[in-house]
A = this chain, B = another copy of it.
């Protein structure tokens, strides 16, 4: 068995996580280690190790002696997630405003510029890439790896609905102003303003997301997504 740069355990983890996030595995569905192992042409052992990690991240649920279930998100979960995002990303924005690293400050501006460019040409995939990078840079400026990991995990949890969310009429266009608001504060060293702007931005996202779920998505499924 060849030892590659990444372990099979890691490959299984990435694969299953991706499947969950892209709805390849649907909420409420049961998956088995044997099937995943078969799909990846590996044994059950590394797959099971990956399952246990994903359970710890809240993407899978292990029902004793029954199997592994894809977690189903409720509306309350969305509120929990955004309550936490609001305070944690607010903190990160405030901390980022204290960052003096010129390279990172430049990278933040660059990411914003790329977001605007992507919108100008209607490239939503490019916009999403820029958005990811912008948030990465922000957390690096804040210098808080735990906050980054936690928010990453929270985002993984609602990623399923993100695609549909971004497709909402005008959502991306509106978001530019919100992003610009906290970025300006960060670059001006205005921590309190950055925190406030970030929280407003996330509340905007939450409000529109909840509207989408309540009106469009949830009516067509049983208990959640």
Interface centre among A52, A58, A95 (most CB of B within 10 A): A52
Using A52-B53, A88-B88, A90-B87 as known contacts, say yes or no to A145 and B45 having CB atoms under 8 A apart: no
Query: Does A48 make an interface contact (CB < 8 A)?
Result: yes
Give the shortest distance, in Å, between A78 (CB) and chain B (any CB). Answer: 11
Residue contact B145 to A80, C-beta cutoff 8 Å: yes
Which residues in A have some Cβ–Cβ distance to B below 8 Å? 7, 9, 45, 48-50, 52-53, 55-58, 64, 77, 80-81, 83-84, 87-88, 90-91, 95, 144-147, 150, 154
Contacts of A48 in B (CB 8 A): 49
Residue contact A83 to B95, C-beta cutoff 8 Å: yes
Given A7-B64, A52-B52, A80-B145; 11 other pairs, CB 8 A cutoff: A9-B52, A50-B52, A53-B55, A53-B56, A56-B56, A58-B146, A80-B147, A83-B91, A83-B95, A84-B150, A88-B88
Contacts of A53 in B (CB 8 A): 52-53, 55-56
Nearest B residue to A86 by beta-carbon distance? B91
Contacts of A83 in B (CB 8 A): 91, 95, 144, 147
22 A-B pairs in the complex with CB atoms less than 8 angstroms apart:
A45-B45, A49-B49, A49-B52, A50-B52, A52-B52, A52-B53, A53-B55, A56-B57, A77-B146, A80-B144, A80-B145, A83-B91, A83-B147, A84-B88, A84-B91, A84-B144, A84-B146, A84-B147, A87-B87, A87-B90, A146-B154, A150-B150
Bound together, the chains give a CA A16 to CA B137 distance in angstroms of 35
Using A48-B49, A53-B53 as known contacts, say yes or no to A87 and B91 having CB atoms under 8 A apart: yes
Please name the 5 residue pairs, one residue from A and one from B, whose CB atoms are nearest each other, closest first.
Answer: A87-B87, A56-B56, A49-B52, A87-B91, A53-B56
Give the shortest distance, in Å, between A192 (CB) and chain B (any CB). Answer: 14
Bound together, the chains give a CA A92 to CA B84 distance in angstroms of 10
Bound together, the chains give a CA A145 to CA B76 distance in angstroms of 11
Contacts of A81 in B (CB 8 A): 146
Contacts of A56 in B (CB 8 A): 53, 56-57
Contacts of A84 in B (CB 8 A): 88, 91, 144, 146-147, 150
